[in-house]
Amino acid sequence: MDTKRLNETSKFLSYVLRHEPQAIGLQLDCEGWASIESLIAGAARDGRALDIALIRAVVSSSDKKRFSLSDDGLSIRAVQGHSTASVNLQHVEKEPPEFLYHGTATRFLQSIRQQGLIPGARHHVHLSQEIATAIAVGQRYGKPVLLKIEARRMHQQGFTFFHAENGVWLTAQVPTPFIREGEPDNL
Ligand code: HQG
């Protein structure tokens, strides 16, 4: 399957399964599941030819394991990253490691220093256990900056953390006292 088609389809699936299911008249349940049959029909009305083989190829080739299929193979969902109000995914609550990382862009720093990390349009702030992943995430918005989050200390103070099935850590917000800034070497 060619990479360009896989990437385009992955972006389209992210769009409808995380953000705008109504754009193709798709219903998601509160756990984010959509019927694959309805997804294919909705996409077709939008002039986009999807089929089950292409969808399965996107699911299995996703570098970040963005999507999962139901056990019966009839439904698909995005495992995290939602902004649509129709979904309220019950992620697994878990004690985080001592530190987690968040990559952002320099242009957001001033605001983050004032407000801490806030979820923006998504339902959670996204954190990573790996520095390289966090830097790549920050790079999408400009010159990347790495933030080191004192996750264990937050947890001890009552903040809740969730671990999505693809390894991304989620929390509602990160107040400024738990954020360290700097280069990877001297954080
Ligand atoms: C920033 C990707 C100003 C925040 C990745 C980020 C991730 C603030 C942006 C997933 C702020 C939100 C999520 C504040 C936070 N003032 N800016 N107070 N607090 N921000 O895309 O974490 O490829 O919604 O730093 O791998 O970048 O889509 O979140 O730069 O896991 O599967 O506001 O998306 O996954 O941007 O990325 P996003 P994110 P996928």
Looking up residue 46, the CATH number of its domain turns out to be 1.10.10.970
pLDDT band at 93 (very low <50, low <70, confident <90, very high): very high
**Tens digits of per-residue pLDDT, 52-65?**
999 999 999 988 89
Query: Do residue 110 and residue 74 come from a single domain?
Result: no
Tell me, in angstroms, the distance from the centre of ligand 1 to residue 58's CA.
22
Task: Answer yes or no: are the C-beta atoms of 86 and 28 closer than 8 Å.
Answer: yes
Does residue 150 register a pLDDT over 90? yes
Query: Do residue 154 and residue 118 come from a single domain?
Result: yes
Query: Do residue 111 and residue 182 come from a single domain?
Result: yes
Mean pLDDT value across residues 128-143 = 95
Q: Is there an atom of ligand 1 within 6 Å of 117 CB?
A: yes
- Which ligand 1 atom is nearest residue 83's CA? 24
- pLDDT for res 183: 63
Q: Which of 20, 47, 78 is the last residue of a domain?
A: 78
Nearest residue (by CA) to ligand 1, atom 13, is 126
- pLDDT for res 1: 76
**Tens digits of per-residue pLDDT, 8-42?**
999 999 999 999 999 999 999 999 999 999 999 99
Secondary structure element (H or E) that encloses residue 55, with its range: helix 52-61
d(CA 161, CA 18): 20
56 within a domain of the structure (yes/no): yes
What number of other Cβ atoms are within 10 A of residue 104's Cβ? 24
Q: Is there an atom of ligand 1 within 6 Å of 118 CB?
A: yes
- pLDDT for res 184: 56
83 within a domain of the structure (yes/no): no
Question: Please, what is the average pLDDT of the chain?
Answer: 95
- Which pTM does this prediction carry? 0.90
What tokens appear for 112 in the block? 């983050």
The best mutation among 13, 104, 109, 145 to test binding of ligand 1, ranked by most ligand atoms within 8 Å of the C-beta, falls on 104
**Residue found under tokens 């990877």:** 184
Secondary structure element (H or E) that encloses residue 104, with its range: strand 100-105
92 within a domain of the structure (yes/no): no
Q: Phi then psi for 26, rounded to 5 degrees?
A: -95, 140
Does residue 170 register a pLDDT over 90? yes
What number of other Cβ atoms are within 10 A of residue 18's Cβ? 24
Q: In the chain, pLDDT over 70 holds for what percent of residues? A: 97
Q: Is there an atom of ligand 1 within 6 Å of 48 CB?
A: no
What tokens appear for 61 in the block? 């080739």
Query: Do residue 120 and residue 177 come from a single domain?
Result: yes
Does residue 164 register a pLDDT over 90? yes
In which domain, by residue range, is 74 found?
Answer: 3-78
Mean pLDDT value across residues 115-133 = 96
- pLDDT for res 63: 86
In degrees, to the nearest 5, what angle opens at C-alpha 39 toward C-alphas 34 and 42? 130
